[in-house]
Structure 1
Amino acid sequence: MMQAEQQHTTELKRTGHRKPLQMELIGGKNARQRIWEELRKTSDATFETYPIARAANVDDDALRTYLQCLTAGGFVEHVSGVRYERRVYRLLKDTGIEAPRLTRKGEPVKQGQGAECMWRTLRMLGEMDVTRLVSHAAASGIDVAPSYAKTYISLLRKAGYLITTLPSTPHRMERFRLSPQMNTGPRPPQIQRVKTVYDPNLNKVMWAEDPEELS
């Protein structure tokens, strides 16, 4: 049994597969969000790495990687210490409750911006169709492919987030709006490769193509 588990772990590392997002979260928050919230608690704007890792319940590699991103982006600076567990950093820029989504070069992560923009639009505006949704995203500086918008809306509908207000016809697109009961929070429901809709606001899989994913 132990040998089989080790082989499975090796296969995951070799192929680059990751667990579904909900398996990596604690309390609906991913590792970077938990780290960021702990950094914002530092009263004197300085912190040591070891206490942050323990308080955020993350491994050292996760903290080290995110600190590299934050340093490159100008959010924190290395103050002192050579060995990782003894390093002291200073928080330079507190941009609010949401953890900065950054690459290793400190640049904003573009992946997921389309979903964030569409979800924000659904929460702010009323009835709309896919064309208006894409246009509103473009006006905000986010390019969302119509095919991706249609897929996102289709899966949100299956998960119970949307109410159809005007059915489609051969000459008219369907119109819809967000169900008031499903306005779950600021973070967009995420469409995963395992064909599930995961809501990070509720820390819950809301729809799955395979019903066993919901059990």
Structure 2
Amino acid sequence: MQSKKKPLSRKTADINYRLDLVWSAIRKLKNFDSRSLQTASGQPKDVVNRYINLLVKAGILEKSTSPRFFAPVYKLMKDNGIQRPLVNRDGTIASPSSAQRMWIAIKILKVFNYKDVAFSACVTFETAKAYLKGLKNAGYLSVSIPKQQYALVTYRFIPTKDTGFHAPQIIKGNVYDHNTKRYILLKSEVKNG
């Protein structure tokens, strides 16, 4: 049985955006110190240094000290591409979230019901139903009402809504698209209905 997770907050969405900017700057610079990474990413020292430390623990960055320089210099050792590595506090690489797994399944399946998504993404039926309802209400999915009384509702992914790699997140009943950096505010009657 999976535990209930708290909904993603705007603060979490903001830090994810900040870390994406830091990762993008790391990929461009390849070799850098903390200050040059702060400048290149436009992010504050605490955000940059915390992420650097996690990436060093994970072996993605290598820290070197030189007698010529006062500050440590970091080198990118493992470039995993545009998708920022998700690293736990202990330095282990985190597995994709349930929303990310469902988003990938939806884009592959294209036409599906909640059971298809639940099985493909290894999530509960309730989790899949809630995520699909949010995406439908935000306009990412179209719905085909079944002709038989007990048949499952079929969803169809709308190709023009493929905004990128990151899964849209359900935040307090609204949808945040990390790829476009925008919130889709759902009307209260849609949220409840």
Same fold (TM over 0.5): yes
Q: Which residue of 2 aligns with 1:183?
A: 162
Which residue number in structure 2 is paired with residue 115 of structure 1?
99
CA RMSD of aligned residues (A): 2.5
- Segments of structure 2 that go 5 or more residues without pairing to the other structure are 1-7
Whole-angstrom CA distance in 1 between matches of 2:141 and 2:162: 10
Residues 6-41 of structure 1 show CA distances to partners (whole Å, capped at 9, x for unaligned) of: xxxxxxxxxxxx96159727xxx7111111111111
**Amino acid in structure 2 at the alignment position of 1:198:** Y
Q: Distance in 1 between matches of 2:45 and 2:154?
A: 47
Distance 1:86 1:157, change over 3 A: same
Please identify runs of 4+ aligned residues in structure 1 that moved more than 4 A.
Answer: none
The whole-number CA distance in structure 2 between the counterparts of 1:170 and 1:120 is 30
Match among 179, 183, 193 for residue 205 of structure 1: 183
Give me the TM-score of the superposition, normalised by structure 2. Answer: 0.83
Match of 1:36 in 2: 23
Matched-pair identity in %: 26
Offset, 1:181:
2.4
Task: Give the drift of 1:57.
Answer: 1.2
| Residue deviations 1:67-109 (CA, integer Å, cap 9, x gap) | 1110111101210169xx8221111111111110111211223
Q: 1:127 to 1:64 in 2, by over 3 A?
A: same
In the aligned structure 2, how far is the partner of 1:81 from the partner of 1:170?
A: 72
The match for 2:14 is 24
SS in 2 for 1:86: coil
- In the alignment, residue 121 of structure 1 is paired with which amino acid? A
Letter in 2 for 1:135: F
* Structure 1 unaligned regions, length at least 5: 1-17, 138-142
Q: What is the CA distance between 1:168 and its match in structure 2?
A: 7.7
Q: When the two structures are aligned, how many residues end up with a matched partner?
A: 180
Query: Which residue does the alignment assign to 1:195?
Result: 173
Deviation at 1:165, TM superposition (A): 2.3
Q: 1:58 to 1:178 in 2, by over 3 A?
A: same
1:167 is matched with 146
Q: Which secondary structure state, in structure 1, belongs to the residue aligned with residue 185 of structure 2?
A: strand
Distance in 2 of aligned mates of 1:70 and 1:205: 29
User: Residue 208 of structure 1: CA displacement?
Assistant: 3.0
1:89 aligned counterpart, secondary structure: strand
1:46–1:91: 8 Å Cα contact kept in structure 2? yes
Report if the CA contact (8 A) 2:134-2:173 is conserved: no
Work out which of the residue numbers 45, 48, 60 in structure 2 matches 1:75: 60
Matched AA of 1:188:
A
Q: Report the 3-state secondary structure (helix = DSSP H, G, I; strand = E; otherwise coil) of the residue aligned with 1:163.
A: strand
